[in-house]
Chain A
């Protein structure tokens, strides 16, 4: 499986020009890791995120941003100044051989410099172009300024994160950037399939981060709650008021996650609690069953449960719970993940070499199969593919390249 990446057939080596910033950078990584030839088009000084921490050995340096290194695996890099007319002319030449273009500029910016879909389609009718923006290309909020935090709030996701009587909380490290990139990767892959299997034509894709993240609220549909009950749903916090046990609980040395929905799992858990605490009440008939059954008794059950978890460490609860067939999971830190036996056993970590920071372990991905290779290469050095693209492909001489560089175009 490991060597097969060389003749990968899963995703063809489509050429994807990546003009995105933080909002869409994950999309290009997904496509690149799956086999597409993704070329990051950076301004001559380098993409802004090259200056974003954390940095390797905490040394600020455009080739040492760990943010940049993480989100740009399997990509190449060229530099090009799109604010300059000559830069734009060169860009149109690049578009001719591209299959897809990803962008996340403010709405209307590319149109203002003549690089909107309408213009680029004339150059290459097969081009698939995807725009990832906070609120999409249309609608009264299309020009609203946003960041991760704002999208989290506006999508409704933040309303569902944190404690019910505390402030709504931003979840994870820029979680709002994942959903739209996943939708964009699906949409671009689908549009290319359509082009090659059916129509021969490309198309334009409008992805709104607000909408994408809103779908990730999923079963906790605030909209349904409002229309059916006339009430606004509030975040539930670490444990669910709708089921028991369900969520994150304290234990002897930290936290443990547990979720029981079936009658069988409850019986196994009740027996275990009884064995540890000697408390016979937990075995009572009225608590037995699947979802909903225990809802009237959550307070009393939680007291017994916390007594039980107080005897055991997270690792004891995890292994013994799983042995008994109960969905029990620990709260892992990044250090735990790097040391995790299961991830290691399945070659989840892929070591990639980078000319400046050397070897680091990167996640392989979530998909496994005979034709799915791990990420192929570490993030690119700034402009590392300039010569290959501009000279070998577009036919500029080395002297011409120097002139373009001096003029601030490359």
Chain B
């Protein structure tokens, strides 16, 4: 891996403690770790999250994305001694972020106001599903479900059937807001010396992505129309079938000159000269027929070939990329987007540091390319691999005490 010497991370020296399940807050942790922060994720072998089991592919593989670049402290927060260690650690940290529910926080003796009283410049970020107040404040949700409640599902797919997206859509939006909130709070702390308590709300992050439709309904009483891949400003506009199983190429023709180039790529067949396809308005009026004719042409070519020929002619087009395409993309490789890392395979019943490593396998890095500072990339930690570092080096606990607390089920 080429390393440019002496570049610094922006958040070098900032310590963040993360206690979070699933995707949103851990995504913020991953991004902030890439910016240089020391992110200590608190886990316990006794309370493993379900994501460790999650298929597909291989157990542990999915956790990799949310743990990259972090340190791992194993700590049993059910035990008062574990809670005390957390309080000491937070007292030596800049940021605490969590998505624990109100009752879980109380059960573990975590009180945001109390923490902030003890350390006034502490930045606390709490991610909730629907907000900590209001009639639905205790409702349960997951990022993948919030695509339905926040409104974006009813803007996707066909009129008969809304489309669902597999990724935990709102978690990512929320995770990025969490990262932004913490950066904002660091700005504030630098200027005022004060900490912050910030709440980031999953459902609200989703509603933001409904966009202008929120105003359109208020102004005109209009609800979004689901058009699948069609577009009110472009035709052809869609994913067209290509040679092979489940292979598609997207094409979007907005302007008249793009249409002329598009026709040229097809060899100007007779149908492109028909009056019902001459202007954008014509093409939109006859879009089903148009899509059928375009698909007749794309189906006999490889998706990548369609893309390249369109792009060479200046027509926006791109394959619907699959795993293989992404892994082998010369473009993404040339930008250093992918890295190889090992991942940890869960072995239930064994202490975290004894779990086996597998891989290496390809992994995304962070899509921010800075000219002057570095984005740090580090591997996936084993559960508890940094317990000695945190308790010994940061908190000054003697080695004997760490060993004893491990045996007694506190540092596990």
Taking the complex as formed, is A311 at the interface, i.e. its CB lies under 8 A from any CB of chain B?
A: no
Most buried by B among A157, A198, A292, A342: A342
Q: Please report the total number of B residues contacting A with Cβ < 8 Å.
A: 149
Taking the complex as formed, is A155 at the interface, i.e. its CB lies under 8 A from any CB of chain B?
A: yes
Query: Is B149's CB under 8 angstroms from A330's CB?
Result: yes
Complex Cα gap A248–B139 (Å): 18
Q: List, in ascending order, chain A residues with CB within 8 A of B315's CB.
A: 145
Query: Is A342's CB under 8 angstroms from B134's CB?
Result: yes
**Given known A182-B176, A193-B183, A219-B54, contact A343–B192 (CB-CB < 8 A):** no
Query: Is B231's CB under 8 angstroms from A57's CB?
Result: no
* 15 other A-B residue contacts (CB within 8 Å) besides A224-B363, A361-B218: A150-B250, A156-B323, A160-B165, A161-B163, A170-B229, A201-B372, A240-B166, A331-B153, A332-B148, A342-B139, A345-B133, A346-B133, A361-B214, A367-B181, A368-B131
Q: List, in ascending order, chain A residues with CB within 8 A of B361's CB.
A: 224, 227-228
**Given known A67-B212, A187-B368, contact A217–B183 (CB-CB < 8 A):** no
Cβ of A292 to closest chain B Cβ, rounded Å? 6
**Given known A173-B210, A248-B153, contact A185–B180 (CB-CB < 8 A):** yes
**Given known A9-B188, A139-B334, A162-B163, contact A222–B317 (CB-CB < 8 A):** no
Could you say which interface size class chain A belongs to? 35 or more
Q: Residues on B close to A: CB < 8 A?
A: 8, 10-11, 23, 27, 31, 35, 50-51, 53-58, 61-62, 64-66, 130-131, 133-142, 144-146, 148-157, 161-169, 171-174, 176-177, 179-181, 183-188, 190-192, 196-205, 207-220, 222-224, 228-229, 231-234, 237-239, 241, 246, 248-250, 252, 254, 311, 314-327, 330-332, 334-335, 337-338, 361-364, 366-373
Complex Cα gap A231–B56 (Å): 11
Give the contacting residue for A334; candidates B151, B163, B322, B323; CB below 8 A. Answer: B151
Q: List, in ascending order, chain B residues with CB within 8 A of A372's CB.
A: 181, 184, 198
Q: Is the interface of A mostly helix, strand, loop or mixed?
A: mixed
**Given known A153-B320, A171-B156, A290-B53, contact A235–B166 (CB-CB < 8 A):** yes
Q: List, in ascending order, chain B residues with CB within 8 A of A255's CB.
A: 148, 162
Query: Is A205's CB under 8 angstroms from B211's CB?
Result: no
Q: List, in ascending order, chain A residues with CB within 8 A of B246's CB.
A: 232, 234
Q: List, in ascending order, chain A residues with CB within 8 A of B142's CB.
A: 259, 261, 327
Q: List, in ascending order, chain A residues with CB within 8 A of B311's CB.
A: 144-145
**Given known A167-B229, A211-B335, contact A369–B197 (CB-CB < 8 A):** yes
Query: Is A208's CB under 8 angstroms from B335's CB?
Result: yes
**Given known A173-B212, A215-B366, contact A333–B151 (CB-CB < 8 A):** yes
Query: Is A365's CB under 8 angstroms from B50's CB?
Result: no
Cβ of A56 to closest chain B Cβ, rounded Å? 5
Complex Cα gap A175–B172 (Å): 12
24 pairs, CB–CB < 8 Å, chain A vs chain B: A12-B187, A54-B220, A70-B215, A153-B249, A159-B321, A161-B156, A169-B228, A170-B228, A171-B156, A172-B152, A172-B209, A178-B173, A178-B209, A180-B367, A194-B373, A206-B371, A215-B367, A218-B27, A219-B168, A259-B142, A259-B145, A334-B216, A360-B215, A372-B198
**Given known A361-B218, A363-B207, contact A216–B134 (CB-CB < 8 A):** no
